[in-house]
Amino acid sequence: MAPAAQDAAGRLAAVRQRIADAARRAGRSPSEVTLVAISKTFTPEQILPVVQAGANVLGENRVQEAEEKVGHLPSSITWHLVGHLQRNKINKARELFALIHSVDSVALGEAIGKRAERDGKRMPVLLQVNVAEKETQFGFGEGEIAEAAAHLARAPGLQLEGLMCIAPEVEDAEQTRPYFRRLAALHRDLAARVRDAGHPWQHLSMGMTNDFPVAVEEGATLVRVGRAIFGERAAAPTAATAQG
């Protein structure tokens, strides 16, 4: 193997090992956790070795960036959208992505559902919760999520798969635990109502490079890991470029 491919395979294996260790610490099976490799800012040339090493679920935060990459990578990849989605990109997003992690308003959820229903389909989505209650972050407030979920559970064209959050940046990953615990509790509290309306509601998307082992201990079923797999990004995406 070329050195770059070896590095990619090694880093991917290390992340998978840490997921498995965290799952076992919590008495969970590692197979309950899907690794979403977040490839934003990386080129198809940089992404391919990670795919060849076995990553088959990839995540991007911008529709346009994903659109530019998807055709240059194997069609076996399942793509997820993890960033804020603009209304004018809904149809493109439905084409590219198997799951949208980032439904952050009732209006966006309804709009996605309407388009999907028109095609006789249901779009799998997660509802993003702004657990840190930060003004700079997208997502439903904790006080809004129950009503939003109940409302969107009745909207046609949506398949509600669960909740997603981005923990605040902290010095010690352990400090993220209360946020992940809170998201898991919200997910549990809403489960009966949303499932009764015909939705699977099985996912908790939480945990990134800095905190994914804690998230797995607290019940994550989808972890979104970028830097630990691909290496550091050249420049941190700004608020403007973080939009989907």
Ligand X SMILES: *Cc1c(COP(=O)(O)O)cnc(C)c1O
Residues lying near ligand X in the complex (CB under 6 A)? 38, 40, 61, 82-83, 166, 208-209, 224-227
Q: Which is nearer to ligand X, 63 or 153 (CB)?
A: 63
User: Shortest Cβ distance from residue 105 to ligand X (Å)?
Assistant: 16
d(CA 78, CA 99): 9
Q: Which is nearer to ligand X, 15 or 184 (CB)?
A: 15
User: Shortest Cβ distance from residue 166 to ligand X (Å)?
Assistant: 6
d(CA 87, CA 177): 33
> Is residue 73 within 8 Å of residue 232, measured between CB atoms?
no
User: Shortest Cβ distance from residue 231 to ligand X (Å)?
Assistant: 10
DSSP track, 61-105: S-HHHHHHHHTTS-TT-EEEE-SB--GGGHHHHHHH-SEEEEE-S
Residue whose CB is nearest to ligand X in the complex, by number: 226
User: Shortest Cβ distance from residue 229 to ligand X (Å)?
Assistant: 8
Sequence length of the chain is 244
User: Shortest Cβ distance from residue 152 to ligand X (Å)?
Assistant: 20
3-state secondary structure of 177: helix
Q: Which is nearer to ligand X, 121 or 227 (CB)?
A: 227
Q: Which is nearer to ligand X, 157 or 226 (CB)?
A: 226
DSSP track, 2-43: -HHHHHHHHHHHHHHHHHHHHHHHTT--GGG-EEEEE-TT--
> Is residue 8 within 8 Å of residue 229, measured between CB atoms?
yes
User: Shortest Cβ distance from residue 41 to ligand X (Å)?
Assistant: 8
d(CA 29, CA 165): 22
Q: Which is nearer to ligand X, 125 or 153 (CB)?
A: 125
Q: Which is nearer to ligand X, 42 or 157 (CB)?
A: 42
